[in-house]
A and B are shown apart, each in its own frame.
Chain A
Amino acid sequence: MPISPRDFDFVRNLVHQRSAIVLEAGKETLVESRLSLLARREGIDSVDELFRRLHADPAAGKLHVQVVEAMTTNETLFFRDIYPFDMLRNIILPDLFKKREVEKRLTIWSAGCSGGQEPYSLAIMLKEQFPQYMNWNIRLLACDLSTEMIARAREGRFSQFEVNRGLPASLLVKYFHQKGIDWQVREDIRRMVEFSEMNLAAPWPALPYADIVFMRNVLIYFNVETKRGILAQARKTLRPDGYLFLGTAETTFNIDENFDRFQNEKAWCYRPKKTP
């Protein structure tokens, strides 16, 4: 049974308030199916019962958070789209390692990291391709709105299905071990990434300046004002010669004109415009 317009509006407002994610009209079935999954997982009899509890619970309660998290899309894979990672390996990292030779410091940020595939891809690439820089102060920060995703990412534990996606078999064998029916990233790789919960749509806490920001397949869920606000904050966090990666369906154009596109044949990213 589809949820009522009133319930849909309630969820829509809650989710927008807490995550800035926009649930458009027409997403009723999606909302309904994700709520019934949540209800089943929590041992709640029906979606109606879930709504009854939501209205009775304090808004700061656990169930409200769970509803918001249930509406996030966590689809991701290792080395997603390949080409951005090639560009990083072949052009950007060699450039930055040269530029930062004196300070020997590099900060990379994965914003909206989901289950951790993206930051672990970055960590594995660094370890695999740039072993000579492992004595630098390299920080890999990763954040997501979802408490559940951050907990999973921290553990670095992936299902067979997940390690089958995008991860070269040679790297699976080298950097993972089996844990029951799952696979876990090796501890030295896990220790390279600092995970934290963070809402990109809220004012950001003080963050270290970043040389590279990966913010891929996150902005698509927001409206233009939210995108603009987030891009402005990303620009302030990026060093002036840094690089911002967005998803292939995302862009700064017509949202924030203070970025230049940086590209080769296969991939592109954005750099803060030079202020004259």
Chain B
Amino acid sequence: MRALVIDDSAAVRTILKRILTECGFEVVEAADGRLALDRLREVGSADIALVDWNMPVMDGFDFIRAVRADHAHDGMRLMMVTTETEIAQVAKALEAGANEYVMKPFTKDMILEKLSLMGIAHA
């Protein structure tokens, strides 16, 4: 199983990577949406992406729209992990095709609980 971790903070990426690696994921990192699309092309596919909202170049919302516009990635699960906490933003992300939404700050348990909600078993 492969996971994409997309966040402009290296510190956040490191934490998320550690959690996902413990769950048995191979983790691919990217610092913005554009780089994430590049990485996705290189590796071919991912089972899930954890996506920050506010990032330079291409933000998480546009990344989600780009992924959902490409039917090659229909099976990919998308989880927003962001400091955006307005209900309208949550709704907007879901409408654009996000499957789950975590409001920062997050804990490891929170991420694991959301993964199991999405039917992704963890070790």
Q: Does A176 contact B (CB under 8 A)?
A: yes
The complex places the Cα of A177 from the Cα of B100 at a distance, in Å, of: 18
- By the criterion CB–CB under 8 Å, are B110 and A172 in contact? no
Q: Does B94 contact A (CB under 8 A)?
A: yes
The complex places the Cα of A168 from the Cα of B90 at a distance, in Å, of: 11
Give 13 new A-B contacts, CB below 8 A, not counting A172-B87, A173-B90, A173-B91. Answer: A82-B116, A160-B103, A164-B102, A164-B103, A164-B110, A165-B110, A169-B90, A169-B100, A173-B94, A176-B87, A177-B87, A178-B86, A178-B87
Residues of A within 8 A of B (CB): 77, 79, 82, 160, 163-166, 168-170, 172-173, 176-178
Given contacts A173-B94, A176-B87, A178-B86, contact A166 B106 (CB under 8 A): no
Given contacts A173-B91, A173-B94, contact A168 B100 (CB under 8 A): yes
- CB contacts between A and B, total, < 8 Å: 37
Chain A residues near B117 (CB, 8 Å)? 79, 82, 166, 168
Q: Does B53 contact A (CB under 8 A)?
A: no
The size of the chain B interface, using a CB distance under 8 A, is 19
Can you pick out 7 interface pairs between chain A and chain B where the beta carbons lie within 8 Å of each other? A82-B116, A163-B103, A164-B102, A169-B98, A172-B87, A173-B90, A178-B87
The complex places the Cα of A176 from the Cα of B116 at a distance, in Å, of: 22
- By the criterion CB–CB under 8 Å, are A77 and B100 in contact? no
Given contacts A170-B94, A176-B87, contact A165 B113 (CB under 8 A): yes
Q: Does B70 contact A (CB under 8 A)?
A: no
Q: Does B14 contact A (CB under 8 A)?
A: no
B69-118 with Cβ < 8 A to chain A: 85-87, 90-91, 93-94, 98-103, 106, 109-110, 113, 116-117
Task: Tell which of B94, B110, B113 touches A169, judged by Cβ atoms closer than 8 Å.
Answer: B94
Chain B residues near A163 (CB, 8 Å)? 103
The complex places the Cα of A155 from the Cα of B95 at a distance, in Å, of: 29
Chain B residues near A172 (CB, 8 Å)? 87, 90, 101
